[in-house]
Structure 1
Amino acid sequence: MSDKSDKFLIKKIILAAGLSKRYGLKNKLTQHINNKPIINCLLDKLLSIYDTSELLIVTGYEHETIINLINNSDIECIYNNDYKKGIGTSISAGIRELDKTIRGVMIIPADMPIISTKDLIKLQNKFIELNCSKVIFPKYKSQFGNPVILPKKYFNILEGLKGDFGAKSLINKTDIITVNTDIGTIFDIDTVSNLKKAENIL
């Protein structure tokens, strides 16, 4: 039976290395929603429910700018030298940093500012309830979203990721458990119009 201490064995890997190609000339993570950078909208929610020791941020594009926005030396940040090759390299870089005691990872894109703390807690609680053994996907209506939580048995697969692909196609379907969540789990910022919509929702 799992207890509350299990939450400290689930690392939250925040992916903040991308080139923001679809957004335009600016790094979308630095753009503001209600006078706050997108990455800080997410981090403030994470820090309201998790200890800094539970977080790991993977940076790449405009590394120094992102670090300055984070402005919290207690949060572990690593630089992905291969960030230009895609999201898979950032997930791999994060996995390589994990301590052997970690039982699972919650992989969180940094461009999800409207995700709720309620949903984050719900996803983690389901993972713990299932003895940290299943892959937990959020689901809004019929659409799968993020963040995804994966157990330790997938760490070798995650570490081997390359290019601009995640691990979804490599997951055993019998391991997947879905949790019904709100719209924030399927809403990321890819374009200026997404940003404006997020402002309206918030």
Structure 2
Amino acid sequence: MINVAILVLSAGKSSRMKTPKQLVKIGTNFLLETVLSKGKEINRNHVYCVLGANANKVRRAISSSKVHFIYNSNFKEGLSASIVTGVTKIERELQNYDAVLILLGDQPAIEKEYINAMLALFSKDKSKIIASNYGTKLGVPAIFPKSYFSELKKISGDFGAKTILNENKDVVCLDKQTNFIDIDTEKDLKDFKKSILK
């Protein structure tokens, strides 16, 4: 049995949306709730969510008792700052995690089956990073073994962990696809809602 922390990144300013995108509605749930629910299905008591911009508003609206919320005061510095904040917190939890699974709070279409396939692949070799294949590049969702926690805490800028994923030989790509759509604009939201109503 592998012990994996789920880290959901949702600290952005939603600069291309007129409202905090964490709180746009998809059906009866907020966007962020949709992602957190999938995280809880995977490892119920070990879901961590990094908030930044509009943190208080988001926290008041999201009723997720099993989620450990973390505030990133450096959210303006980009995605990497949220990873650093989240991984630092996870290390301090003393839960002896084997790895961290990083999800983005604006990717609601990632399937639970896809995540489970990533975890199954990781369980075969816990020294390897498991990444998602976007065609021309690798990205998240991704699983990082605990041996990479120190490296993750050194990243900076808005590229997140992409440099580690795309320049490391110990990365295995999952031979499976999912819907990687991320909700950045009103158009993205409308298109996604149309796709799930088909």
So what's the TM-score if we normalise by structure 1? 0.87
Deviation at 1:145, TM superposition (A): 4.2
One-letter amino acid of the counterpart of residue 18, structure 2: L
Identify the residue that residue 90 of structure 1 maps to in structure 2.
Answer: 82
**AA matched with 2:77:** K
Contact 1:88 / 1:162 at 8 angstroms: preserved in 2? yes
What letter matches 1:24 in structure 2? M
1:67 partnered with 2:59: yes
Query: Aligned Cα RMSD in Å?
Result: 1.8
1:11 is matched with 5
Return 110-119 or 151-160, whichever deviates more. Answer: 151-160
Q: How many residues align?
A: 192
Distance 1:77 1:155 in 2: 19
1:200 partner SS: helix
Q: Indicate yes or no: 2:128 matched with 1:134.
A: yes
Shift of 1:159: 0.9
Q: Which moved more, 1:115-124 or 1:36-45?
A: 36-45
TM-score with structure 2 length normalisation?
0.88
Instruction: Give the aligned partner of residue 100 of structure 2.
Output: 105
Report 1:22-101 matches (<5 A).
Answer: 23-51=16-44, 53-98=45-90, 99-100=93-94, 101=96
Identity of aligned residues (%): 27
Distance 2:35 2:66 in 1: 16
Distance 1:145 1:157 in 2: 16
Match of 1:114 among 109, 117, 124: 109
Q: 1:141: Cα distance to partner?
A: 5.8
- For residues 28 and 152 of structure 1, the distance between their equivalents in structure 2, rounded to whole angstroms, comes to 31
- Shift of the 187–16 alpha-carbon distance from structure 1 to 2, 3 Å rule, reads same
Kindly provide the CA deviation profile for residues 172-197 of structure 1, in whole angstroms up to 9, marking residues without a partner as x.
5311100133332x211111111112
Equivalent residues of 2:128, 2:144 under 8 A apart: yes
Moved more, 75-84 or 143-152: 143-152
Name 1:157's counterpart in structure 2.
151
Range moving further from structure 2, 87-96 or 165-174: 165-174
Q: Deviations over 1:27-51 (max 9, x none)?
A: 1111112232111111222223321
Q: Deviation at 1:26?
A: 1.1
Query: Does the aligned pair in 2 maintain the 1:135–1:176 contact within 8 Å?
Result: yes
Given that 1:40 and 1:70 are in contact with CA atoms closer than 8 Å, whether structure 2 keeps it comes out as yes
- Unpaired runs of at least 5, structure 1: none
